[in-house]
Structure 1
Amino acid sequence: MSLLVPLAAALLVSSAQIPLATQVQLPSGETVELAADFLTYEADKQVLTARGHCELRTGEMLLRSDEVTYDEANQVATATGNVMFVGPGGMAAVADDVRVDIRSFEATLQGGLFMQKKGVTQEAMLAAKTPEELRSMGETPIILSGTRIRRTGPNAFTVDDLAFTPCECGPGEPTWRMEARSANVILGERATLSWPVVYVESVPIFALPWVYLPLAERRTGFLIPNPNFSGQSGFSLEQPFFLTLGRSYDMTFTPGYFFGSSDQPTIGDPDTNVAGDEFTYKAPRQYGVKGPRLRTEFRYVPSETTRGRVSLGLLHDSQPVRDPRTGFFYTYPSGTPNAGRYVDVPRGWRGEASWQHFQDLGSGWYDRVDASFVSDGNYTRDLTADVILQGLDYLRSTATVFRRQEDSYAGLDVSLRQDIRWPYRFFQDNRVPSQVDPLRPDLPSPVTFQRLPGIVYALPERPLFGGVVGGLRAEFARLAPMTGGFGDEGVDGIFLRDGNHRPLGSIYPGLVDSGQGNGLFDTRDREARDRVDLTSRLATSIPLGDVARVTPSLGVRQDVWAGEYSGRTWQRGYPIAGLLLDTQLTRIWDGEKNRYRHSFAPSLELRYVPGGWGHVPSAGAQRSPGFAQPYDEVDAAVPLDLDGRTRGFLQGVFAVDQTLRVKVGNVYREPLRLRIGQGFDLTRYAPAANKLGDPEPVLRDTFARLTASVGMLTAGGMVRFDPNSGRVTQITGDFNIDNGKGQALYARYDDILTTSEAAIVLRGETPNALGPDSIRRPLDALVGRVSREPPGLPTAERAQALIAGTRLTLGFGLGVRYEALVQPLYQDLANQEPSAPFAQQTLGVSYGPACNCWRIEGVVTLRRDIGLEFSGVNFSVTGLGSFGSGG
């Protein structure tokens, strides 16, 4: 922004020779109006003096003071006493005294202060009578002062003893500022500061030998540097550079360097040591990086209907390469001089990329992209210590082009996933270092299936005839790996990093799975498939007098698959009948100012599938009948037999909804909503489903869901209970208290019964075999199958997590934020002792003025199994951005 426009205008106005006249013409040709209570001119001294309410005015500029003198002989103009200036664009200035040398264009100021105003009109600023009144008007996002200013060009100045801040916290002096010995300024472009120092109150916080500051929005230049420290990667420093590419495009280049964390003592394996003894040596931390990195971000907004951002990051990592099968460093084999020590082979080039894009193409057409990619599975874990981000298993990228209209939807989409559970590299091979195996075998990595592409056409439900509504949806999806026609998982259909084969129900690990990664289409390999899915539904609503309503429906789902590698085809279809019976009782109370409405709405929903025709595709090279191998929620839309045939069912859910609504004026609020329900599976009583005599029980989950909102409090919770096993399968709760003034308290708790990791990975159990009904329920069913734990399999586990935090802003500028992630105790494999329940705790303590035009914060983090570490310092400044990184 043009910080020095008022000064330039003041120089121009003050440099005129002002004769004894109401209107005079300056050398520039501009007309100035002069007004004062008393005017004198001393001809022998060639000095003009104006006293009392002096005012110099042009079309857009105004200069007021108690006295103005002009020495024509020495060409010096002086304004003293309550000097104030108003210029265009919200620029204003106040000073005690201003002395201007017309010949050198040099101005000396006492008590000078230049401001940029917003939220106030030019007319209101011109009407201000005193400097105090001018200062208090509107908002002041920029304040600038200096002791000597010299004009060096049409829009260029040098400023001595510059003091600058982009916001004002009150009518007094700013609580922070940036001072510089000297500065070169080009109006509307940039300022270069020599030896700038950032002061908070009167305490120097940050200093640099030289700084480039853009003085307008979207100006090319360096941004605030970003220092950081973490326990994983040690100290790092990044320096962003902003590049403007016109009004609609810009880029940011951020070179940086990670210095790496200090090595830690490591105990060597006695089995690989020649002497057979344990030994201690230094080794890097398991996670973290070391080396240079360059991040580039390109942003574009070429029109109101198009916007996007593209980013690319490249890192040359000199930390040792890791074994993707174990996640640990490679070690020298037994019998070598360095047996048991890690192999110091650098990881080399790593990187990340992302693309976010949205565009309104017109006529109801849109396109959207949300993509993220990394070079290897450990990239995110190495660059962040946050346990939540480290726990991500997949990166999902989507791109779609669609047309949405009132009566139809058509779309083409692509969905890609990256499996980041293990540190395999995606765009390079995963060869074993020659120090470990001279043959350098390439380790096969898991193959992730993608949706390449998906095509959807849907007709939303609409009136057809006689009160009947109907809808139709058609979808084509190709589910396949990026390359090749199958996943190559081997004979068990599961990718295991050690290559072992563990058949379902086995107690001990089996033999090596020779089919995994062998390039052959084996019995349980996943095959690339093309699928067409058609669903249709007809429904109507029939009132039962004034007390209830019944809504019957009838639908059909038909699926056809084609295997791209085997050339085989499959088909499966089934009808779906539904019935919804509901009613509602309402009572209204009128208060003095509010109206209260309570509704009681019981409902019973039934869903019936008598069976079907065909079956879901079988796994791998098996010929029908074989084990079914569903890929997604559409393949598993109904309960299936082992060979993929549809299992008929008759299910129901009885629920009661209660809602309290409050009308205040013309605004409705819903402070309370409660839903209680019970699921049923009546399949064994449905002979048409061929399930007569099925020993499965009738009851499924009992559930209750509550949401509440009162004043500053919003809260919610859900409980699911399995009456067959007598276990609570899900407890979820959250609340948030926020007064809107910087004080907040929040928490979320999740407790879900799940199939154990050992049963899934080691024994091949289905992940959704256990857990709440919402997890077990197929797409077209109302409830799931019975939650059972087969004998001989590891028992169920409880996935529990509590995230709680608070934010406090105290009256004297102190701010505190705290957040904790609490997870259940587990036994540390190294020392066989229970671990702390706190997985991660973050504490930030900050200080800043009430207006928050600047804030400095220190952050510490305590992570389980890592310990306490200083995460960094964040210093944010309004108008300048922030530097530092922590928490």
Structure 2
Amino acid sequence: MTFLVPVALTLLVSAQIPLATQVELPTGEVVELAADYVVYESDILTARGHCELRSGPNVLRADEVTYSEATQVATATGNVMFVSGMMAAIADDVRVDLRSNEANVKGGLFMQKKGVTPEALQAAKTPDELRKLGETPVLLSGTRIRRTGEASFSVDGLAFTPCQCGPGEPSWRVEAKEASVVMGERAILTWPVVYVRSVPVFALPWLYLPLAERRSGLLIPRPANSGLNGFALEVPVFLTLGESYDMTFTPGYYTGSGDIDTVYKDADGATIREPRPNGVKGPRLLTEFRYVPSERTRGRATVGLLYDLRPRLDPITGGFFRPYDHSVEPPVFLPMQYVDEKRGIRGEASWQHTQDLGDGWRDRVDAYIVSDGFYTRDLTADLLVQNNNYLRSSAVVYQRKDDRYLGLDVSLRQDLRYPFRFFQPNTIPAVATADNVAVDPHGPTTFQRLPGLTLALPERPLFGGRVMGGVQVEYSRLSPMRSAFADDGRDALFSPYARWRPASAPLNIDFFGLPVDDLEGNGRFDATEREGRDRVTLLPRLSTSYGLGPWARLTPSLSVRQDVAVGEVSGRTFQRGYPMADLVLDSQLARTFTDKDTLYRHTLSPSVTLRYVPGGWGHGLTAARAEGSGTVPLIYDEVDAAVPLQSDGRVRGFLHAVVAVDQSLRVRKGPTTREPLRLRIGQGFDLSRHVPVAGRDTVQGGVLRDTFARLSASAGVLTAGAVVRMDPTTGDITQLGADFSIDNGKGNALYGRYDDLLAVRQLSIDRGLDPLAQGPDFVRRGIDMLVGDAPRPLPSHTDQVDPSPTERAQALTAGTRIKLGFGLGLRYEALVQPLYKDPVSQESQPLAQQTFGVSYGPACDCWRIEGVVILRRNQSPEFAGVNFSVAGFGSFGSGG
């Protein structure tokens, strides 16, 4: 779209339109003129009363129109309206000098329209009617315009609002002293100033604006300021590469935070200050490439590079490198000094791609990568984003048809818990080690899925349609990216200081009092460690269904899971298999109510589900115990943990049951159906002790497992949900969760979420307890189990003061957004951890983080500027930044 087209057409073209009923002007054009009164006297043509001039798609209306042949000056006064295609203009009066190609306008407003036909615009009889028709993405005015070429103009007193603010007076605008305009190409504004109401808020010496749908040019600069990274300025530049491709280059610079993290006193009492270890400082370039070559293919790729001028961090501690004084024996650590080695090049990259390949084939890529583990948390001050431990990427190509699914996928993860660099050495300089020898520490090792191959044949009729059958076959390879094993030592867990916790270690022992794991990072594959593994899984399934009269249905099924795996380092092969028998008995009672044109349907659906696994054959991959003799099963993914396992990797059989009742209310009005209420209540049972299944002597706990209820509801602007699970044997609430939101769709909202879980303590995990062994069924149970194992204490805990291996994990997130009538917006969000206590004072400190935002934007919300303050626990308030979002700016903008 072209912002200044209405100006040129209205002020110049309309003035050259002939003003007579079949009258020819000096331009040679002839137009139709209709008016209540027309007179030609002394070389002056005058038309008064409902004047209307038509020339092709152009229509001019005014109370009075005059034209002087002697001076070649045309004027239109009183309710001036001009329409040309989708361009429309209104003014009090317009005066055009045809000899100098100059026009002067009084009370002019020029509009680019959409969502309306040109014929409807031409039929408008009054300026007010013309204002209200369709949508107005561009509002524009100018006091003087002069043609400087065939399609170029010089405009004085330019004022415009390039967004859909409505036909009335906009609440903001951009004014420029003068502008050089090339129609359909660009506009160069001299001293543009952004006004909110009548207050100037932002100015630039000059600004280049594209005046076409896909025109290269400078986009809106994005200033920001935060306590983490100081002041930052980004200036995006848009480059079009045809109709289907474009790029955006965004150079920027971070000044770095001036906050002081640590203050020392040297021997003379002088103050030594050092910067905070978090954050960035230096130049950055972000490049974004977008492509949509066809309706079937689209994608986006980004590459960002940052030259960080801050000092490097120790990849183990996350703090600065501290040198040692080697002039004394033993060497003395110098806490008041740090090694000022720049972090250098850091960066990020991403690629999102989707494509329809035809014949049911599709592909999708969601790839993300960063240069080091702290890159994300150094660029954002938000606590939730900073606590992301992993960055996941995936890619898949698949064919989905009615009779099969075939897919090839890969999945990668980056560990973000430590500041290890992924593509550069992590060498700790010699000056920062006690023995004055540089070292390259061993970092965490994550397992990647490289690749996975899945073939699934959905259930189809067999044996004349009496039985349904389907099968799934999957091959997966899980291995570290750069090696064939994890090298995580005795406990198969990475520890920054290569420590491990034996079962005999007291729970309250100091971390550095634990023994050193001499196997971690030794470069050898040890018997206690995980190795890369290849696995093939076969899962066939048969089922049938019988109606028990009109009241119930019985659905039995039989399936078998068979795994064959091989270790890539040891070459050991393992196979594990087990059958699963299911029996489902369900029914449904329904009742329908009508109220005028609304239909209500209430359903009650009771069900009983049984699953029986008698045991199995073979065993899965195992590793040697860290202490003593024997083995432990290795769990790589959800298939390995699908059923309970014994210490040698063999399957422990079980018989599970779930009794549940589902209720739902559906409302249908016209073609629309919604479900305002759904409730599910159920009880889980573990009957393994009372049936002849393998390994039943190892089952602990009562027959009853979690009692659960789930609720989802919606009514008008309110949506809510809740889930509760309780272990009736212990009386513990294993899960309690609730969420709600009230949103009126006009920028006002209130929302909240609460979660309370029974989780495994870190000390228990360090001692070998499965992290999923405690908690609600949906967390702890395997994919082939109906209910989870019973909560159980560890033998090593029984002699301790607190024998429980579990602890409660609670979190509450609540917030609100309010948009006031004069453009002001307020935002507040709180993250609450009710059980948190200060580790030193033991005082309750539930508020983990509070976020405050104050914003302003016009009624159209085409742009909004927001200042954000974050208050974290035990820290001073931090000005986290200024967010400037832009959306709907005609052909330019930075995205909302």
TM-score, normalised on structure 2? 0.93
Asked if 1:766 corresponds to 2:770, the answer is yes
* Residues 226 and 883, structure 1, Cα contact 8 Å, conserved in 2: no
* Partner of residue 87 from structure 2, selected from 91, 100, 104: 91
Following superposition, the deviation at residue 109 of structure 1 comes to 1.5
Pairwise mapping of residues 570-649 of structure 1 onto structure 2 (< 5 A)? Answer: 570-619=574-623, 626-649=631-654
Give the match for residue 826 of structure 1. 836
Query: Aligned match of 2:278 in 287, 292, 306?
Result: 287
Quote the Cα distance in structure 2 between the aligned partners of 1:737 and 1:479. 44
How many Å separate the matches in 2 of 1:767 and 1:313? 37
Matched with 1:230 is 226
Residue 14 of structure 1 deviates from its aligned partner by 5.2
Distance 1:774 1:129 in 2: 66
What CA deviation, in whole Å up to 9, does each residue of 1:302-341 have, x standing for no partner?
0000000000111111112111212122212255798212
Distance 1:626 1:279, change over 3 A: farther
Deviation, 1:265, is 5.3
Query: Conserved in 2, the CA contact under 8 Å of 1:494 and 1:764?
Result: no
2:555 alignment partner AA: T
User: 1:490–1:523: 8 Å Cα contact kept in structure 2?
Assistant: no
CA apart distance, 1:522:
0.8
C-alpha distance in structure 1 between counterparts of 2:886 and 2:613, whole Å: 63
* 1:175 matches 2:171: yes
User: What does residue 161 of structure 1 align with?
Assistant: 157
Q: Deviations over 1:667-706 (max 9, x none)?
A: 4332222211111111111224252585542121111111
Are the aligned partners of 2:151 and 2:183 in contact in 1 as well (CA < 8 Å)?
A: yes
**Does residue 464 in structure 1 map to residue 474 in structure 2?**
no
Give the deviation of 1:834 after TM superposition. Answer: 2.9
C-alpha distance in 2 between matches for 1:324 and 1:17? 75
Matched, 1:330 2:334: no
Amino acid paired to 1:561: A
Of the three residues 63, 80, 85, the one matched with 1:66 is 63
In the alignment, residue 280 of structure 2 is paired with which amino acid? Answer: V
Q: Which of 42, 52, 56 is matched with 1:55 structurally?
A: 52
1:490–1:517 contact (8 Å) kept in structure 2: yes
CA distance in 1, matches of 2:482, 2:69: 85
2:215 corresponds to which residue?
219
Q: 1:836 is aligned with what amino acid?
A: Q
- Structure 2 unmatched ranges of 5 or more: 798-803
Per-residue displacement from partner, 1:131-153 (whole Å, max 9, x unpaired)? 23222322222111111100011
Which residue is 1:416 aligned to?
412
Residue in 1 aligned with 2:295? Answer: 304
User: d(CA) in 2 for partners of 1:278 and 1:608?
Assistant: 75
Q: Which residue of 2 aligns with 1:556?
A: 560
Q: Give, in whole Å, the separation in 2 of the partners of 1:812 and 1:404.
A: 52
The residue type paired with residue 486 of structure 2 is G
- How far has the Cα of 1:249 moved from its partner? 0.6
Q: Does 2:820 correspond to 1:816?
A: no
Aligned to 1:654: 659
Q: Is the 8 A contact 1:525 1:621 kept in 2?
A: no
Distance 1:547 1:862, change over 3 A: same
Does structure 2 conserve the Cα–Cα contact (< 8 Å) formed by 1:109 and 1:148? Answer: yes
1:113 aligns to 2:104 (yes or no):
no
Which residue is equivalent to 1:685? 690
Distance 2:500 2:687 in 1: 39
Measured in 2, the distance between the counterparts of 1:385 and 1:20 equals 68
Q: 1:480, CA displacement in angstroms? A: 0.8
Amino acid at match of 1:780: D
Which stretch has the larger CA shift, 436-445 or 344-353?
Answer: 436-445
Q: Quick check: 2:181–2:188 contact (8 Å CA) kept in 1?
A: yes
Distance (whole Å) between structure 1 residues aligned to residue 213 and residue 894 of structure 2: 23
Give the 3 Å change call, closer, same or farther, for CA 621–721 of structure 1 in structure 2: closer
Q: CA deviation at 1:429?
A: 1.4
Deviation at 1:525, TM superposition (A): 1.8
Residues 231-270 of structure 1 mapped to structure 2, 5 A cutoff: 231-264=227-260, 266=262
Tell me the residue number matched to 1:33.
32
Distance 1:381 1:58, change over 3 A: same
SS class of match (1:120): coil
Q: Equivalent pairs: percent with the same residue? A: 61
Deviation readout 1:495-539 (Å, 9 max, x if unpaired): 111012323453355432222111111111211111100001111
Distance 1:404 1:147, change over 3 A: same
Cα displacement (A) at 1:33: 2.2
Relative contact order higher in (CA < 8 Å, ≥ 6 apart) = 2
Deviates more, 1:9-18 or 1:281-290: 9-18
What secondary structure, in the 3-state scheme, does the structure 2 residue paired with 1:805 have? Answer: strand
1:800 is aligned to 2:810: yes
Residue 444 (1) aligns with residue 442 (2) = yes
1:725 maps onto 2:722 in alignment: no
Structure 2 residue aligned with 1:784: 788
* Correspondence for 1:104: 100
Task: Please state how far the C-alpha of 1:122 moved relative to its aligned partner.
Answer: 1.1
Q: Any idea what SS the aligned residue of 1:435 has?
A: helix
Given that 1:874 and 1:884 are in contact with CA atoms closer than 8 Å, whether structure 2 keeps it comes out as no
Greater displacement, 500-509 / 377-386: 500-509
**411-420 or 783-792, which moves further after superposition?**
783-792
CA pair 78-826 structure 1, distance change in 2 beyond 3 A: same
**Is the CA contact (8 Å cut-off) linking 1:550 and 1:581 kept in structure 2?**
yes
Moved more, 707-716 or 468-477: 707-716
After alignment, is 691-700 or 102-111 more displaced? 691-700
2:886–2:894 CA contact under 8 A, matched in 1 = no
2:380 counterpart residue number: 384
In structure 2, distance between residues paired with 1:17 and 1:780: 80
Partner Cα separation in structure 2 for residue 125 and residue 774 of structure 1: 60
- Whether the 8 Å CA contact 1:227–1:884 is kept in 2: the answer is no
Tell me which residue corresponds to 1:838.
847
CA distance 1:71–1:678, change in 2 (3 Å): same
SS of the counterpart of 2:631?
coil
Quick one: distance in 2 between partners of 1:123 and 1:426? 62
Cα distance change of structure 1 residues 289 and 825 upon mapping to structure 2, 3 Å threshold: farther
Map of 2:801 onto structure 1? none
In the TM superposition, what is the alpha-carbon distance from 1:620 to its structure 2 partner?
A: 7.1
Instruction: Give the residue type in structure 1 aligned to 2:563.
Output: D
1:687 partner SS: coil
Instruction: Determine if contact 1:65/1:80 at 8 Å carries over to the other structure.
Output: yes
- Per-residue deviation, 1:632: 0.7
Cα separation, 2, equivalents of 1:35 and 1:595: 58
Deviation at 1:258, TM superposition (A): 0.8
Question: 1:866, CA displacement in angstroms?
Answer: 2.8
* Number of the residue aligned with 1:704: 709
Note if 1:751 corresponds to 2:756. Answer: yes
Structure 1 residues 885, 369: CA separation in 2 closer, same or farther (over 3 Å shift)?
Answer: closer
Query: Which residue of 522, 527, 542 corresponds with 1:523?
Result: 527
Q: Distance in 1 between matches of 2:47 and 2:66?
A: 6
| Contact 1:872/1:884, CA 8 A, preserved across alignment | no
The 3 A distance-change label for structure 1 pair 621 and 452 is farther
CA distance in 2, matches of 1:585, 1:79: 76
Give the superposition deviation at 1:13: 4.4
Cα displacement (A) at 1:241: 0.8
Partner of 2:505: 506
For 1:71, give the aligned amino acid: S
SS in 1 for 2:689: helix
The range that moved more, 794-803 or 866-875, is 866-875
Number of aligned residue pairs? 875
Q: Distance in 1 between matches of 2:26 and 2:542?
A: 84
1:464-503 matches, cutoff 5 A: 464-465=462-463, 466-503=465-502
**Residue type of the alignment partner of 1:321:** R
Q: CA RMSD in A?
A: 2.7
> Which residue is 2:311 aligned to?
320
Q: Please report how far the alpha carbon of residue 267 of structure 1 lies from its aligned counterpart in structure 2 after TM superposition.
A: 5.3
**CA distance, structure 1, for counterparts of residue 681 and residue 14 of structure 2:** 79
